[in-house]
Structure 1
Amino acid sequence: MKNKHKIFQKVIMFSMVIVYSFVSKAQTNCDYNSSNITFNIGTAGVLPSNSLTSYLLVDHNTGIINQISSTQGFTGITQSKTYDIYAFSYINDNTVTGLFAGGLLSSLTASCSDLSNPLTVSVCLPSNNGQCDFTTSSFTLNPATPPPTDGTTQYILTNINGTILQIASTPTFSGFSGTQSFNVFAVSYTGNISNLAIGNNYNTITGSCFDLSNPFPVNVCVCKPICLPVVLTKIK
């Protein structure tokens, strides 16, 4: 079973997730880089005329329903994480319970219904809608809890396209200038790991036993110095 715990936390309590026990395959890829997503879940057979279908956006880790839509799309997603998308078809006879945002998928019931298999997607949003998280040329993210002790953990800084820019043994990164958006990942592994190198895309990382955290978006805004002329005047 895959267990997860928080690894990063900023002052505003924005946290990311990483696996506590290792699994054999990373599951975090950026399928969408926008707060609005569309998808395609096909249906098999013909539904009864008095049936309805709702599409559910569910937190992959907690099973909490985030959004419900009557169409195959969601808007206004506010967190970068992994989600499961379901199609829930049911007879419209007022027996459905648990069909609301904030409820648990496991609490969803109806007298006659069917729930699709999950479509698992990862959403990586632009960092904080352009707001600045850090205004210095370096930053450190604070661990909320220690990383796993039964392996190696490395911290990865990528650009928004997923290219690895920096790798560190602690969540500290430096050398920034201007205004840029990044994602930070933690990768924990035992044994051999491949493609964990600057210039590679984090999606190409492979290994015998490893896992990659959800992305932690960061916006860095380093002001450039403004040079003003200074005129010296001799006072008699």
Structure 2
Amino acid sequence: MYTKPVCGWVFCLGCCLWLLSGSVQAAPRGQKDTGILTATRLADADADGVSDGSDLCPGTPVGMAVNAYGCPLSQSSCDYTTSTVTLLSAGGSAGSTVTTRYVLANNVGTILQISPTASFTGLTGTATYMAVAITYDGVVTNLSVGSTLSAVSASCLDLSDALVFKACIAPVPTCDYQVGATIVLTSAGGSTGAGVKTSYVLTDATGKLISVSATPSFSTMGLVAGAYSAYGLTYTDDASIVNLVANGTATLSQVTASCLIVSTGLSLTLCGGCKTSCVPILISRLR
């Protein structure tokens, strides 16, 4: 029987609960205990179908869908919206030959990241994760990205309870132009000849006309970062065109003429002007 300090871990999103530590006798995770301990490990206190000895998420609500480790397969609300997640931990064993690694796994227990600290980076999209602290003594096997938590083994090994969290990271927009720069586009097609005119318009995300130009280029001075669309309009030059004005209220759908053709919209994304900080220019008289 292996005697070791309580290898208890607590992960939390905003606070840390510290565990009382002491000395108990217990077999390393994955090794079979004898006598009454065997019966305890076969128990399933939260009735999720995973025995307490293998359950990394004790106390799961009844009826919740869980994975092979007794942890929820999904979370309804988002805990993080950043690509880097830093957690707090408490407890665990220590010693000259004891190693602790923090593991980020997906919702079915496949290892995604391994870190010496409770911090994980590069998260993308929306997903539910499991964070687990693994403490071992000696040589460890299968502690690698792509392996599963259940495949990790060592002569002395302990896994913390898992912290299940959901990260929702919005995709970083691809900037076509910076606010303050001039949008310069090219056009092809359209009708030409006497009595025919072409204008180009820039609309915001609601379809309102932001700019009207005789050429496929627009100033972005005074605009805010966001989504825009550019269109080419060809129409009869007989003064029948109405609402072709960037007055902040007219929309593209309100533009009419005796003969009007509107091109397919070209989506554009404007990003904030200065990427870091804007330093004002000081002008002084030369003496």
TM-score under structure 2 length normalisation:
0.44
Bigger strand share: 1
Equivalent residues in 2 for 1:23-38, closer than 5 Å: 23-26=27-30, 37=48
Q: Offset at 1:134?
A: 0.9
Equivalent residues in 2 for 1:117-196, closer than 5 Å: 122-127=69-74, 129-143=75-89, 145-150=90-95, 151-196=98-143
Is 1:210–2:213 an aligned residue pair?
no
Kindly provide the amino acid, as one letter, of the partner of residue 10 in structure 2.
Answer: I
What residue is the counterpart of 2:219 in the other structure?
232
- Cα distance change, pair 207–38 in 1 and its aligned pair in 2 (3 A): closer
What residue is the counterpart of 1:75 in the other structure?
62
Q: Offset at 1:38?
A: 6.0
- Report the secondary structure of 1:203's partner residue: helix
Q: Offset at 1:160?
A: 1.2
Q: Offset at 1:216?
A: 1.2
- Report the secondary structure of 1:181's partner residue: strand
Percentage of matched positions with identical amino acids:
29
- Cα distance change, pair 36–179 in 1 and its aligned pair in 2 (3 A): farther
Q: Offset at 1:20?
A: 8.2
Matches of 1:19 and 1:167 in 2, distance apart? 28
What number of residue pairs does the alignment pair up? 158
Q: Offset at 1:182?
A: 0.8
Larger radius of gyration: 2
Structure 2 residue runs without a partner (length 5+)? 32-45, 54-58, 180-217, 223-287
Structure 1 residue runs without a partner (length 5+)? 28-34, 40-57, 61-65, 68-73, 82-120
Matches of 2:157 and 2:52 in 1, distance apart? 22
Q: Offset at 1:224?
A: 1.8
Kindly provide the amino acid, as one letter, of the partner of residue 168 in structure 1.
Answer: S
1:28-52 CA deviation, whole Å, 9 max, x = no partner?
Answer: xxxxxxx98469xxxxxxxxxxxxx
Superposition RMSD in Å: 4.3
- Report the secondary structure of 1:221's partner residue: strand
